[in-house]
Amino acid sequence: MEIQKVAVLGGAGTMGSGIVQTIAQAGIEVLLFETNLEMAQMGKAKLEKVIQKLVDKRKITELDKRNILDKIVLCDNYQAMIDVDLVIEAVFENIHLKKQIFKELDGILKPEALLCTNTSALSVTEIASSTKRLDKVIGLHFFNPVPVMKLVELVMGLTTSEQTYNDCVVFCEKIGKQTIRAKDTPGFLVNYLQIPLLNGAVAAYEAGLASAEDIDRACVLGMNHPIGPLALLDLIGLDNALDVFNVMYEGTGDIRFWPRTIHKRLVQAGHFGRKTGKGFYTYI
């Protein structure tokens, strides 16, 4: 199936907006869905500023900018998605919310439409169980910042069909991404590999082994990472990261995923990282 029209739920959020931008830049019509039109308008306004910076840096032209923005359609109700080919859900990590969304969409979307979740840790199989199109539900796990990161992790639920997988591979290639195939296990593949390092950095910081700056500098200069683990957590959002850490720990019982006290305290204080101006670093 050729993917010609896509909807992104949570399209004004950090991940959602990056997904919307990436799809629109590929020339595909994309519905930016939020629960109210004001939030959707704010999301598109934010994207316009991001795309304007690309013009300012002479990476795209003014005409390119207009064409990209014209591909983004605002949406605040599920009925507007009746003719989309693919939906990407990018709301926060709550299994009950995701299942409710998929159940409602299942009764509205055309039968051949694909339902995709951007979850980074929750079970794709469980999310799919809320629908009657079990074979057409798959995980499309993008990475932040979406327009820059090349990878999409395709997570196969127990009932996901090979046709759905193949259609999503083609779609990802069309929007300039490369894919890997992962099983529906806690954290899938990338988080299984990455979280022990991130959590280890938090543990080192909590133990006073080094400053946040030196911990990150060790990874950037000594391991050739593009960004340090504590700065990356601030970028992801400490609240979002804590949700993933908890899911991983509860799903595996592996101590490597056990959230550290300092991480919990920062979240309890409302210090989520870049989006709040304070996390392991201060951005105000």
The CATH number of domain 5-183 is 3.80.10.10: no
Give per-residue pLDDT as tens, 225-242. Answer: 999 999 999 998 999 899
Domain with CATH 1.10.1040.50 in the chain: 194-268
284: pLDDT confidence band, cut at 50, 70 and 90? confident
Angle at 53 between CA 47 and CA 54, to 5 degrees: 95
Count CB neighbours of 51 within 10 A: 22
Q: Where in the chain is the domain with CATH 3.40.50.720?
A: 5-183
Type of residue found at 232:
L
pLDDT tens, residue by residue, 192-208 = 999 999 999 999 999 99
- Please say if 141 is a catalytic residue: yes
- Among the listed residues 34, 89, 93, 153, the single catalytic one is 153
b (16+ CB within 10 A) / e for 255-264: eebebbeebe
Question: In the prediction, which pLDDT does 52 show?
Answer: 97
Is it the case that residue 1 has pLDDT exceeding 90? no
Give the model's pLDDT for residue 144.
Answer: 85
- Tell me if residue 240 is catalytic: no
Give me the catalytic one of 34, 89, 118, 120. Answer: 120
| Confidence at residue 84, expressed as pLDDT on a 0 to 100 scale | 98
Q: Is 225 a catalytic residue?
A: no
144 given a catalytic annotation: no
Q: Which of 123, 141, 240, 271 is catalytic?
A: 141
The mean pLDDT value of the chain amounts to 96
Spot the catalytic one: 17, 191, 199, 240.
191
Q: If one looks up domain 194-268 in CATH, what number appears?
A: 1.10.1040.50
